[in-house]
Chain A
Amino acid sequence: MDALLFFLFAAIAVGCAINLVLQTHPISSALSLVGVMGSLAVLYLLLGGEFIAAVQLIVYAGAIMVLFIFVIMLLNAGAEKKPTRNILRAAVALPLLFTLLAIGAFLVASQTPSTDVVKFGSFLVGGHEIGRALFTTYLLPFEATSILILIAILGAIVLARKEI
């Protein structure tokens, strides 16, 4: 059951990711990205990370992507024009792409530990443990990230603000 769900949602995630690149309209691309986020959340859930799955949905699918879609709708961006197809270009690019993917897959497979470490439902941690870890073990990275985000917000305000 777990394996079935994993392959189903992994396939959806990859399909949405491919669709994201293939679509010509920005709204379609953005919604495909939402699909990727949602499938990833299900994969986290299968691993037992309920909290992470919910946060993935709330933050990425619910807040960041809504902002993307909001901006695209506000600017009323139209569909992009596809460049003309070139068979020669594709003949060179496709093998290169597959080689790159193969190298990447090989590196990831050789670096990751053996599969018996990761099992379905093996990361069953609740909100308590995550909160405690964030505010004790990982306090410094947590605070540094907060300051980084604060700086980013300030930067955005400074850039967006007109001369008074």
Chain B
Amino acid sequence: MNFFLLSLIKTGLVAFVLLTTLAYLQWIERKVLAHIQLRPGPYRVGPHGLLQPLADVVKLATKEGVIPGNANVFFFLFAPFFAVTLALTSISVIPFGPEIEVFGVKTNMELTGVNIGVLFILALSSLGVYGIAIGGWASNSKYSLMGGLRSSAQMISYELPMSLAIAAPLLLVNTLNFRDMVNAQSGYWLGVIPKWNVFAGPFPQFFSFLIFLIAAFAETNRVPFDLPEAESELVSGFHTEYSSLGFAAFFMAEYANMITVCSVATLLYLGGWQPLWPSSLGSDFVAPLIHFAAAGMLFYHAGQTVKSRTWDRFSFPAFGVIFLVVGALFLVPVLKPILIPLFWFVGKVGILLFIFIWIRGTLPRFRYDQLMRFAWTFLFPVAIVNLLITGLLVALQS
């Protein structure tokens, strides 16, 4: 098939799924945080607040976009655009699954397979700081400026341990291409333990994985490293002066970065779309079983809804049927090679995203000096030691 047509279809599909996920990730985050804090969370728009993201989009799009009087107008408008562009671009090099065949057309489940995928992601994430720094500076407000300054210092500092942590698994897989990386992690030790980089010999990359996750929290400005937007001291940091779509763009950029970072962690350490145990031992049935279990739970709860929640009597069975259908799709032989790897990839990314939200609901914020000391005197040396040990063992092995 025509290369351009194929790329166009894939881009449209990925963009649609990504933007919907971004909107609903925010709903999930609000729900999870709410349940951690023993409150229901968004509940008014749609059943269990499921249409809340849609309402938020309409609200943000129709609000008045205020430009502060003394702001630098060009850079003020440029910054959120730049931030969201970079954040959405980085998804283009992430592979979601193996090579598949749809209607006789063979294609890879990714937008583009560059040989330097890891470096591409690193380059984009290191450029991402401009959006925040320039946005904070152009607002011409002291809170925004402080937020922008903190963010640039923080991102420079945490980029080092992050890059060093990434270098260690790269030594094991011996490539910079994400697809080759995942293929290198296929197979099982003793038939059951997957050869993912977190479990791989000669030196399991468990520490590297932890360092990467910690640095990823800092790179995406999430709690406990959300000092650029610490609301108790800086109002809301670098986006204090932004409203309407400018604010929405920064918001989208943060969530898109979260998804990218979790995908990279999955590809580098958790074996991408490789299942947790071999399909000969029945790992293909995990996906339908999980969906059937969810459907069963919904049907069970539909029978005993609380009187005040009249909606649930109709919405629970409806969603149960949706889960049943999705679960059944995993059993169709034609769709199996597409959906099963996608399920494992999305599942791993989803678990990591849940950890991001979980930690936001659990940990308090770092103090600024603690943040810097942690990066330079602990994370950085540990990452170097990890890289040295891995390098030594790989050299001894070969």
Contact = CB atoms under 8 A, between A and B. Distances in A.
Q: Does A associate with B in a complex? A: yes
Contact of A127 (B137, B152, B153, B176): B176
Contact of B126 (A31, A53, A57, A73): A57
A63 B145 contact: no
B133 to A, nearest CB: 6
A126 interface: yes
Interface in A12-32: 27, 31
A127 B136 CA distance: 36
B115 A126 contact: yes
A54 B122 contact: yes
B130 A69 contact: yes
Contacts of A51: 116, 119, 176
Interface residues of B, number: 25
Interface string A57-90: 1100111001101100110100000000000000
Given A27-B75, A69-B152, A74-B149, A62 B119 contact: no
Given A67-B156, A70-B153, A127-B176, A54 B116 contact: yes
A34 interface: yes
B130 A73 contact: no
B126 A66 contact: yes
B120 interface: yes
Nearest to A72: B137
Binding site secondary structure of chain A: helix
A132 B5 CA distance: 39
Nearest to A59: B126
A55 interface: yes
Nearest to B152: A70
Interface string B136-148: 1100000001001
B133 A69 contact: yes
A73 B119 contact: no
Contacts of A61: 123, 126-127
Contacts of B123: 41, 54, 57-58, 61-62
Contacts of B227: none
Binding site secondary structure of chain B: helix
A66 B130 CA distance: 7
A73 B137 contact: yes
Contacts of A63: 126, 156, 159
Interface in B305-322: none
Q: Looking at chain A, what size class is its interface with the partner chain?
A: 20 to 34
B145 A73 contact: yes
Contacts of B149: 70, 73-74
Contacts, number: 71
A73 B153 CA distance: 12
A159 B34 CA distance: 51
Contacts of A53: 116
B119 A54 contact: yes
B134 interface: yes
Interface string A93-134: 000000000000000000000000000000000110000000
Among A41, A58, A74, find the residue whose CB has the most chain B CB atoms closer than 10 A: A58
A50 B75 CA distance: 30
Interface in B88-138: 114-116, 119-120, 122-123, 126-127, 129-130, 133-134, 136-137
Given A31-B134, A63-B126, A66-B156, A73 B148 contact: yes
A126 to B, nearest CB: 6
Contact of B120 (A54, A66, A74, A127): A54
Interface in A31-51: 31, 34, 41, 50-51
Contacts of A27: 75, 134, 137
A50 B133 CA distance: 28
B115 A50 contact: yes
A54 B159 CA distance: 15
A66 B176 CA distance: 25
B116 A62 contact: no
Contacts of B148: 73
Contacts of B137: 27, 73
Nearest to A37: B127
A55 B127 CA distance: 12
Interface string B311-354: 00000000000000000000000000000000000000000000
Interface of A: 27, 31, 34, 41, 50-51, 53-55, 57-58, 61-63, 66-67, 69-70, 73-74, 76, 126-127
Given A66-B130, A76-B145, 7 more contacts: A31-B130, A50-B115, A55-B119, A61-B126, A62-B127, A63-B159, A69-B130
The 5 closest A-B pairs by CB, nearest first: A62-B126, A54-B119, A57-B123, A50-B116, A70-B152
Interface of B: 75, 114-116, 119-120, 122-123, 126-127, 129-130, 133-134, 136-137, 145, 148-149, 152-153, 155-156, 159, 176
29 contacts: A31-B75, A31-B130, A41-B123, A50-B115, A50-B116, A51-B116, A51-B119, A53-B116, A54-B116, A54-B119, A55-B119, A57-B123, A58-B123, A61-B126, A62-B123, A63-B126, A63-B159, A66-B129, A66-B133, A66-B155, A67-B156, A69-B133, A69-B152, A70-B133, A73-B136, A73-B152, A74-B149, A126-B176, A127-B116
